[in-house]
Homo-oligomer: A and B are copies of this chain.
Amino acid sequence: MIKVALVGTGNLAFQLYKALLNCPEIELVGVFGRNQEALSDFEQVLTTTEAIVLPAADLSLIAVSDDAIARVSMKMEPKHGLLAHTSGAQAIGAIKSDRAGVFYPLQTFSKQAAVDFSEIPICIEAKKAEDLELLKKLAHLLSDRVQPMNSADRKYLHLAAVYVNNFVNQLYQTAFEIVDQRELPFNLLYPLIKETARKVRDNVPAKVQTGPAKRNDTGIISKHLELQNPDNKELYTLLTQAIQNSQKQT
């Protein structure tokens, strides 16, 4: 049995709460958060706005926003065990403790959508070897994909995650706006969105690229530019060039 304390009340904290509760080998001893109202979502365990009230644990998962990690972790007591933050972008040094660690689930979380942690890669790091073992044990209880990773590698992984998540989503939004102005339903594009994602499961993306940029079809490219507002034109031109550069290197 691993005793875990949870810190934070955001989307990731909520999804971790549900996953930890569901795991018979884990005892979730309580949740610490500064917002009493947000804590009401965590009603199946002890909740508190004071770190000192949080029961003893083998480790504490600090699932708070990046800029709160340092401040919140300093409120924790030795009885709260290993202190692991859950951020992709922050180094392990954000927690000032010999027993610092990182437990970073690489996924986008919302409060509503149910999450299957078993498929989510969990990147772990700890200052002490025995703490890394503890994080590994916990991560394996939730996920089939556990990846020890240092802070330097993790910040690149987080940057890549911004590309495939936030930036890809913005391209979906641009497409949404283009079809919406013609009163066409965005869900016409959904099978293509799905297949585009599926294709890179087993392929290097550049190798399965298609379309006017790859073919250097200047006729279509100029026609497309004419259809767009200046902001989108700039984005279209830059991405067309990026495709052509990547194709040269492949």
A interface, CB within 8 angstroms of B: 66-67, 89, 106-108, 110, 113, 119-121, 123, 145, 147, 149, 152-153, 155-157, 159-179, 181-182, 184, 186-197, 199-201, 204-206, 208-214, 217, 219-220, 223-224, 227-228, 231, 234-236, 238-239, 242-243, 245-246
Contacts and interface: CB of A to CB of B under 8 A. Distances in A.
Given A168-B168, A184-B156, A67 B191 contact: no
B170 A242 contact: yes
A208 B173 CA distance: 10
A182 B153 contact: yes
Copies in the complex: 2
Consensus secondary structure, chain A interface? helix
10 contacts: A110-B199, A113-B199, A145-B188, A152-B182, A161-B189, A166-B214, A170-B246, A172-B205, A176-B204, A186-B204
B223 A155 contact: yes
Please provide the 9 A-B residue pairs with the shortest distance between their CB atoms, ordered closest to farther.
A166-B211, A173-B205, A160-B175, A172-B205, A197-B197, A163-B175, A160-B178, A167-B239, A121-B188
